């Protein structure tokens, strides 16, 4: 097995175990889809939760570009009991996201996966959310991914190109290249996992 393929298989397996053991989430990922970094997603949702603490009643999030993994809605439901509308323009990502939601008992009633147009993704997703939810409390999305020829700079170091994104794990986008490649320890994060 080629090193990149072996690394991808290991990362997908690790992600599956983390989701299952730590959050009780069943999950699969089709070949070629980006493998999400679970700790980064957990931290992001914890920040959103802290910002939403004064919100009474049930919370609903809107995930634009949910991807095949549907990671934010799955974690948000498992960790905090939130409802989600998960939107994507790619039909194969929508199918895979739906499979991931259906793998988890009780999640189908709380996570709605919708296909949107790439040109009108935000308005389509908001329209879909307001069909079933009384309010949308936050919107979340992944950072954009660029082909190597389209990237304006190399701020994030070794981000995968579009042609090899399926073979690699999602890059750690917390630290700029200058820090990521240095021998100095990374600065301590102010975020906690609570």
Note the pLDDT of residue 62. 95
Q: What is the extent of the structural domain holding 32? A: 3-143
Please count the structural domains in the chain: 1
Q: Is residue 166 scored above 80 in pLDDT?
A: no
d(CA 73, CA 61): 8
Residue 171 lies in a domain: no
Residue 103 lies in a domain: yes
Q: What angle do CA 151, 33, 103 make, to 5 degrees?
A: 145
Residue 113 lies in a domain: yes
The overall average pLDDT reported for the chain is 79
Helix residue spans in the chain (DSSP H): 3-23, 38-52, 71-80, 91-102, 121-132, 177-180
Of 82, 86, 85, 84, the residue nearest 59 (C-alpha): 82
Residue 162 lies in a domain: no
Residue 37 lies in a domain: yes
More confident residue, 2 or 93: 93
Which bin fits 157, alpha (ψ -120 to 50), beta or left (φ > 0)? left
Taking the complete model, does pTM exceed 0.75, yes or no? no
Distant-in-sequence, close-in-space partners of 38: CB < 8 Å, separation ≥ 6: 15, 18, 19, 22, 71, 75
CATH number at residue 81: 3.40.50.150
d(CA 154, CA 146): 11
Residue 81 lies in a domain: yes
C-alpha 184: how far from chain center? 29
Residue 137 lies in a domain: yes
d(CA 64, CA 99): 18
Q: Is residue 64 scored above 70 in pLDDT?
A: yes
Residue 151 lies in a domain: no
What tens digit of pLDDT does each residue of 32-47 get?
898 999 999 999 999 9
């Amino acid at each position: 097995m080629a090193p990149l393929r072996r690394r991808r298989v290991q990362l997908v397996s690790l992600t599956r175990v983390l989701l299952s053991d730590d959050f009780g989430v069943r999950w699969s990922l089709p070949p070629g889809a980006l493998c999400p970094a679970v700790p980064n997603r957990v931290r992001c949702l914890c920040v959103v939760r802290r910002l939403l603490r004064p919100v009474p009643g049930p919370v609903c999030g809107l995930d634009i570009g949910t991807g095949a993994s549907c990671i934010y809605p799955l974690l948000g439901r498992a960790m905090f009991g939130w409802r989600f509308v998960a939107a994507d323009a790619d039909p194969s990502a929508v199918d895979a996201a739906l499979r991931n939601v259906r793998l988890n008992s009780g999640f189908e009633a709380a996570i709605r996966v919708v296909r949107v147009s790439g040109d009108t993704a935000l308005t389509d997703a908001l329209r879909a959310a307001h069909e079933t939810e009384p309010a949308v409390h936050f919107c979340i999305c992944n950072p954009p991914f660029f082909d190597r020829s389209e990237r304006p700079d190399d701020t994030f170091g070794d981000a995968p190109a579009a042609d090899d994104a399926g073979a690699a794990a999602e890059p750690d986008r917390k630290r700029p290249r200058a820090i990521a490649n240095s021998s100095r320890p990374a600065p301590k994060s102010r975020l906690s996992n609570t």
